[in-house]
Amino acid sequence: MSSENEIADLVSVMHGNSREIASKVVGNTGFSMTLGTITETGIKLDNFKYEISDYMVLEYLTMNKDYMTETNNSDKVTTPDELKPLNVGDRVVVATIGVQNIVMGRVKVNA
């Protein structure tokens, strides 16, 4: 029984050390992720006081036109809402790498 407790203690210490090391590595690279909201002139991050107007967006979120095609059955296939350009009020996931803020994708409440 004592041996089992020692193993459990060792696993607990190793788990804690792994978390600490991972946290330091991520913290030292200047990488973080947060939620934000698209505004009329930029993005407002949940964890930052000011609106940011200089940011990047993954290319698939900038498609300006509806993509339409016809299938063999003459059914029209249109661009899904999830692939349409961002709109004011959209909630987004933002990665911060160094001083760059990059909108990674749109998010919604899972209902």
Greater pLDDT, 5 or 55: 55
> Among 6-10, 55-59, 70-74, 79-83, which is the least confidently predicted range?
70-74
37, pLDDT greater than 90: yes
Is this model's pTM higher than 0.85 or not? no
62 three-state secondary structure:
helix
Alpha-carbon torsion angle 75, 81, 82, 88, nearest 10:
160
The residue extents of the domains of the chain are: 32-107
